[in-house]
């Protein structure tokens, strides 16, 4: 059977999040005009993460300048950055007592710095308003702009993340406008700029990659200075997105986790429901 038409396996079925905490977080985000990956991407872990005091906020609007084949974000011409957004993110973190805040964005190739200064402003606002929260920045590649990368590194987030998403062979299909070597170089440069900075990446399975290709990505990332990795299942947002090649079993995700640890990664999260910004309450 075509995987795209096959029923979703039991290990990928979860209940919709509900409860007082979910309602509280939803209400605060709506009042402050903030968007999250948790809801925009229909993340299966939203109830767990929101209940544990963490969330992933999306900066810089709802339009992306690239339009990757796996992503539900609309591609087009974005609006200018909202200068009030950093303060609104920090206010949400303070009101909701977030312990860990992941901050990401749409890709903004239209901006000279790719949005780097905006990321840095959010870090500063969070340090001021929610000093107890750790801050993880999940950044785009900034089109290889070294000064833009230096701007976010100098803001001193606790974690700097950038997702490789897939294996290099599939980049022309999966990651339109991205370059595998350019993404790897981001880690090399960040590690050189601040050796103590924790670097993280994520990939998805189910595009048609091979085991050897995935392990090769692990090795490339480790050599570039990355020490934390997430591995999850690709699920097409709609029938108009890149079709699914396969559902990967939980047992195979366990094998990939073992392979990543053998490469040397300090922190590995690998499973069908794992997402790149997943920060389980057990950590």
Whether 283 maps to a domain, the answer reads no
Burial of 218 (0-12, 13-18, 19+ CB in 10 A): buried
Comparison of pLDDT for 4 and 11, the residue scoring more: 11
The average pLDDT across 222-243 equals 90
CA dist 53 and 55 (Å) reads 7
Residue 32 lies in a domain: yes
Q: Tell me if 4 is assigned to some domain.
A: no
pLDDT value at position 230? Answer: 96
| pLDDT band at residue 280 using 50, 70 and 90 as cut-offs | very low
Residue 225 predicted with pLDDT over 90: yes
- In the predicted model, what is the mean pLDDT of residues 156-181? 95
Residues whose CB falls within 8 Å of the CB of residue 10, separated by 6 or more in sequence, listed in order: none
**Confidence at residue 148, expressed as pLDDT on a 0 to 100 scale:** 98
pTM of the shown model: 0.89
pLDDT of residue 40: 53
Question: What's the confidence (pLDDT) of residue 282?
Answer: 41
pLDDT at position 9: 84
Q: Which CATH number goes with the domain that contains 106?
A: 3.20.20.70
Q: CA-CA distance, 255 to 260, in Å (whole number)?
A: 9
Tell me the average pLDDT of the chain.
87
Would you say residue 5 has pLDDT above 70?
no
Residue bearing the bigger pLDDT, 30 or 93: 93
Q: What is the pLDDT of residue 283?
A: 41
> 103 lies in a domain?
yes
Is residue 16 domain-resident? no
With respect to residue 88, please indicate whether it lies within any of the assigned structural domains: yes
Regarding predicted confidence, which is higher, 38 or 247? 247
Burial of residue 283 (CB within 10 Å: 0-12, 13-18, 19+) is exposed
CA 47 from centroid of its chain's CA atoms: 17
Domain count, the chain: 1
* Residue 280 located in a structural domain: no
Average pLDDT of span 65-93: 81
The pLDDT > 90 percentage for the chain reads 62
Q: Which domain holds residue 186?
A: 24-270
Residue 18 pLDDT > 70, yes or no? no
Within a domain: 19: no
- DSSP β-ladder status, 35-36 and 54-59: antiparallel
């Amino acid at each position: 059977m075509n995987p795209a038409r096959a029923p979703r396996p039991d290990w990928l079925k979860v209940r919709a999040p509900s409860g007082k905490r979910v309602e509280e977080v939803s209400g605060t985000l709506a009042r402050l005009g903030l968007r999250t990956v948790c809801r925009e991407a229909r993340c299966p872990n939203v109830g767990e993460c929101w209940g544990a005091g963490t969330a992933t906020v999306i900066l810089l609007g709802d339009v992306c300048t690239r339009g990757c084949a796996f992503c539900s974000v609309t591609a087009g011409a974005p609006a200018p950055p909202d200068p009030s957004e950093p303060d609104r993110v920090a206010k949400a973190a303070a009101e909701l007592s977030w312990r860990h805040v992941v901050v990401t964005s749409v890709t903004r190739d239209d901006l000279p710095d790719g949005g780097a200064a905006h990321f840095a402003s959010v870090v500063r606002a969070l340090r001021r308003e929610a000093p107890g929260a750790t801050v993880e920045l999940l950044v785009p590649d900034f089109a290889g702009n070294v000064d833009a990368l230096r701007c976010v590194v100098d803001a001193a987030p606790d974690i700097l993340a950038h997702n490789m998403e897939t294996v290099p062979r599939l980049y022309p299909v999966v990651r339109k406008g991205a370059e595998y070597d350019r993404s790897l170089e981001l880690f090399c440069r960040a590690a050189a700029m601040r050796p103590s900075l924790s670097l993280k990446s994520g990939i998805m399975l189910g595009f048609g990659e091979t085991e050897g290709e995935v392990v090769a990505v692990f090795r490339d990332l480790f050599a570039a200075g990355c020490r934390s990795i997430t591995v999850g299942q690709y699920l097409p947002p709609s029938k108009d997105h890149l079709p699914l090649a396969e559902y990967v079993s939980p047992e195979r995700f366990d094998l990939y986790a073992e392979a990543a640890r053998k490469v040397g990664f300090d922190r590995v999260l690998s499973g069908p429901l794992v997402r790149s910004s997943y920060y389980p309450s057990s950590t």
